[in-house]
Amino acid sequence: MSEATSPQLLHLVFGGELKQLDGTEFRDPGKIDIVGIYPSFATAQTVWRSRAQATVDNAMVRYFIVHLHRYLDPLAATTAHA
């Protein structure tokens, strides 16, 4: 099934500098880089890889993908893939 005919599954890509390497708490939440919202996991992953690679020299910076579609329709989250 192509992306054009598959259901829209929104994903958020964001990141920033963490307080600790093994945590997920941001040093300054006001400086979180909200990269964007994407219509599929594949598209979000491509953008995530690009941002992660661009910040590879700073070990404290991490980027994340959030499956927004799971929050928009919590009942479907148990059956959705990606």
Whether the predicted model's global pTM rises above the 0.95 cut: no
47 found inside a domain? yes
Return the structure tokens found at 27.
């040093």
Structure-model confidence comparison of residues 76 and 57, the more confident one: 57
Q: Is residue 67 part of a domain?
A: yes
Strands 61-66 and 33-38: unpaired
Q: Which residue has the higher pLDDT, 75 or 43?
A: 43
pLDDT digits (tens, 9 = 90+) for 18-74: 999 999 999 999 999 999 999 999 999 999 999 999 999 999 999 999 999 888 876
Total domains in the fold of the chain = 1
Residue 51: domain span: 38-73
Q: Domain for residue 44, yes or no?
A: yes
Please indicate, yes or no, if residue 48 is contained in any of the structural domains. yes
Task: Please check whether residue 33 lies inside any domain of the structure.
Answer: no
The three-point CA angle 43-31-62 to 5° equals 50
